Amino acid sequence: MAPSGSRYSRERERMVERQIAARGVDDEDVLEAMRNVPREEFVAESLREFAYEDSPLPIEAGQTISQPYIVALMIEAAAIAPGDRVLEIGAGSGYAAAVMAQIARRVYAIERQPELGRVARERFERLGYDNIELKVGDGTRGWPDAAPFDAILAAAGGPEVPDVLLEQLAPGGRLVMPVGRNRESQSLVVVRKTGDRRFEQTELGAVRFVPLIGEHGWQDLTARAPAARRNEDIGVVIRDAAEALPALDSPEFGALFDRFGDARVVLLGEASHGTSEFYRARAAITRRLVEHHGFDIVAVEADWPDAASIDRYVRHRPALAGAPKAFQRFPTWMWRNTDVQAFVEWLRGYNTGKPKAQQAGFYGLDLYSLNSSIRAVLDYLDRVDPEAATVARQRYGCLTPWSKEPAAYGHMALTSGFALCEKAVVDTLQSLLDRHVEYARADGENFLDAAQNARLVANAEAYYRAMYYGSAESWNLRDTHMFDTLKLLLAAGGQKSRAVVWAHNSHIGDARRTEMGQVRGELNIGQLCRQEWGADAVPIGFGTHGGTVAAASDWDAPMQVMPVNPSLPDSCERQFHDAGVVPSLFDLRPGQRDALRERFEGSRLERYIGVVYRPDTERWSHYADSELSRQFDAWVWFDQTRAVTALAEGHAQGMPETYPFGV
């Protein structure tokens, strides 16, 4: 049937193993069928490289091809067996029908959108699926002429299971359908026909599908209210809620954020890693929180050892002998830019002459510094306990062969089935912590730094191994490490200690309110802070419509200043752009601007530009579904933004010799 042995077959094998079998689908027929259907043939040419990602993808007519795992889960739940006659409602791309056709005798598929129906039919023909019959029409009525069916699957969510569909089930037949009270979220329902009019119903949990539109489904909204009118309404709501931001360099800017001054943690996002306005706004807000509200920790999405040398600089402590220069690793512009430099200078000035307890510190939450952290632990032990240094050197030696490319270590651990260095790194951390009292007496502050580096090495070892199991697992380890680091910093600072976090929107907004958490099983710092501190953790998102951004076209490629595409028509960003507001703050907390909050409760596309930006495939590489007003407590909007200015190599002009960014 389907062509096999294509260059995608390895990706397909990995998809089945990591996204489907690993999540508990174990029906061999289903796994085999998923191994056989070339998913890349069911998406647009430009999207093929994303075909095996762990997510739904857009298809024509504003619809989606379901996430591979969900397709497998539904087919398993419907217990489709060889010889079965199956009805699918919402054929879309035709992918799920093709998977079912690998197992069942005959598949009847209905699709509402004529354009999709035509393309799917062509695919079936080209790929040789001759046991699928597709018609265009309203599937909520079923297909009475072809009934009864052994299984019925709906690939779109409706308000209830239509009776007409239950009537078309054969005795013992199964129906699987997303059912929910609103259009945006559903629970996956499985109904089994146990007798003539007898049914048993179970639920498989929360899912998100496009709406099922038809006689026994939802109404077609586009036919009632043209999109333009609905956008006009939202424009009024946005303009009403906008609080204009003062100039970035005016003290009034930070004052607008005084309302968040009582929080334990304020998390400041960014929609890219290279936009000047985001950095300057975060700096202005942070200055205010530090000067007027007692915040004493600035924790950023950067490596711990690099941030530690900045911390020494801002707190007027001498640099550690032999410490490498800060932020030499890709992406250097993220921290070596003029906006960060200005903030660091301000922080140093703020700390001048203050006793240690009243100073504010600068810390890194991330874990990409395996080598420099190993070196920092060894340097520390060389100074305080040369004997322990010898042991630690031996233990860390386990990782030395992989020091240039730690990902290769993860690969080795996976293929050999053995976490070779796990014990070594955990033991080093434990030995260090065991001597806490003794070391800390001799060298208090440096002990905390060394312990954090040892912790980082242990977590990084696990991170590189997890990279090979699946992206969600390594992402979760990384964000959990960042959150744990934040908690340790707050604990070390005592009861009154308060933190500002600078990290990307994708880390600080509540992941449970986005595609990350809802589709891919990913958590993030924002979510963990919410779970720990409730309303005392305040995530603030930042967005833009257009302008320029500093980014690379590939990992490790040189930085470029790129134009940012105008935001997409359906996105959150476009609503703010169309409203025509000046740079503004939007308070999204309950009880503040509820009309606005409600308009952004449902999910819409939101743009996430990273250190890599690919304008050509932007929709698929940089947008994800997000419920903006539940993801963030506030939204800071700059319609037009500019790229950051990276620091030139060599000393920045007029900087003191000790300046940590100097090379």
Q: Which is nearer to ligand SAH, 177 or 647 (CB)?
A: 177
Site for ligand SAH in 213-252 (CB under 6 A): 213-214, 217
Contact between 112 and ligand SAH per CB under 6 A: yes
The DSSP annotation for 383-448 comes to HH-HHHHHHHHHHHGGGGGGSS-HHHHHHHHHHHT--TTHHHHHHHHHHHHHTHHHHHHHHHHHHH
Cα–Cα distance measured from residue 587 to residue 387, given in angstroms and rounded to the nearest whole number: 56
Q: Which is nearer to ligand SAH, 96 or 472 (CB)?
A: 96
Q: How far apart are CB 176 and ligand SAH at their closest, in Å?
A: 12
Q: How far apart are CB 26 and ligand SAH at their closest, in Å?
A: 21
Window of 184-192, 208-216, 338-346, 628-636 that interacts with ligand SAH by CB under 6 A = 208-216
Q: Which is nearer to ligand SAH, 90 or 406 (CB)?
A: 90
Contacts of 61 (CB under 8 A, 6+ apart): 113, 115, 116
Contacts of 564 (CB under 8 A, 6+ apart): 272, 544, 545, 546, 547, 548, 549, 609, 613, 615, 641
What counts of helices (H) and strands (E) characterise the chain? 25, 20
The DSSP annotation for 260-285 comes to GTT-SEEEE--SSSSBHHHHHHHHHH
Q: How far apart are CB 72 and ligand SAH at their closest, in Å?
A: 11
Cα–Cα distance measured from residue 195 to residue 199, given in angstroms and rounded to the nearest whole number: 7
Q: Which is nearer to ligand SAH, 58 or 662 (CB)?
A: 58
Site for ligand SAH in 496-515 (CB under 6 A): none
Cα–Cα distance measured from residue 527 to residue 147, given in angstroms and rounded to the nearest whole number: 47
Q: Pairing between strand 149-154 and 169-179?
A: parallel
Site string for ligand SAH, 547-586 (x = CB under 6 A): ----------------------------------------
Q: Which is nearer to ligand SAH, 16 or 283 (CB)?
A: 16
Q: Which is nearer to ligand SAH, 116 or 588 (CB)?
A: 116
Contact 343, 284 (CB under 8 A): no
Q: Which is nearer to ligand SAH, 217 or 610 (CB)?
A: 217
Q: How far apart are CB 213 and ligand SAH at their closest, in Å?
A: 4
Q: How far apart are CB 122 and ligand SAH at their closest, in Å?
A: 14
Instruction: Please report, to the nearest 10 degrees, the dihedral formed by the alpha carbons of residues 161, 164, 167, 172 taken in order.
Output: -30
Contact between 184 and ligand SAH per CB under 6 A: no
The CA distances from residue 83 to 37, 87, 101, 416, in Å, are: 19, 13, 10, 41
Q: Which is nearer to ligand SAH, 51 or 213 (CB)?
A: 213
38 conformational bin, left if phi > 0, alpha if psi -120 to 50, beta if neither: beta
Backbone angles phi, psi at 612, to 5 degrees: -100, 135
DSSP 20: I
Active site residue 187: no
Q: Pairing between strand 584-587 and 634-641?
A: antiparallel
Window of 109-117, 523-531, 543-551, 617-625 that interacts with ligand SAH by CB under 6 A = 109-117
DSSP 332: G
Site string for ligand SAH, 119-158 (x = CB under 6 A): -------------------xxx--------------xx--
Q: How far apart are CB 452 and ligand SAH at their closest, in Å?
A: 46
Contacts of 212 (CB under 8 A, 6+ apart): 89, 90, 139, 140, 154, 156, 157, 158, 178, 218
Contact between 30 and ligand SAH per CB under 6 A: no
Window of 32-40, 84-92, 299-307, 462-470 that interacts with ligand SAH by CB under 6 A = 84-92
Six-digit token string for 32: 């085999």
User: Given 55, 66, 276, 567, which residue is catalytic?
Assistant: 66
Contact between 96 and ligand SAH per CB under 6 A: yes
Q: Which is nearer to ligand SAH, 220 or 262 (CB)?
A: 220
Other Cβ atoms less than 10 A from the Cβ of 417: the count is: 6
In the set 16, 70, 86, 110, which binds ligand SAH (CB under 6 A)?
A: 110
In the set 19, 55, 67, 113, which binds ligand SAH (CB under 6 A)?
A: 113
Q: How far apart are CB 138 and ligand SAH at their closest, in Å?
A: 5
Q: How far apart are CB 214 and ligand SAH at their closest, in Å?
A: 3
| H helix intervals, 534-612 | 572-579, 594-599
Window of 83-91, 234-242, 294-302, 486-494 that interacts with ligand SAH by CB under 6 A = 83-91
Contact between 93 and ligand SAH per CB under 6 A: yes
Number of residues lying near ligand SAH (CB under 6 A): 26
Site for ligand SAH in 32-71 (CB under 6 A): 63-66
Q: Pairing between strand 265-268 and 537-551?
A: parallel
Q: How far apart are CB 553 and ligand SAH at their closest, in Å?
A: 30
Q: Pairing between strand 243-244 and 149-154?
A: unpaired
Interface residues with ligand SAH (CB under 6 A)? 63-66, 89-93, 95-96, 110-113, 116, 138-140, 155-156, 210, 212-214, 217
List active site positions: 66
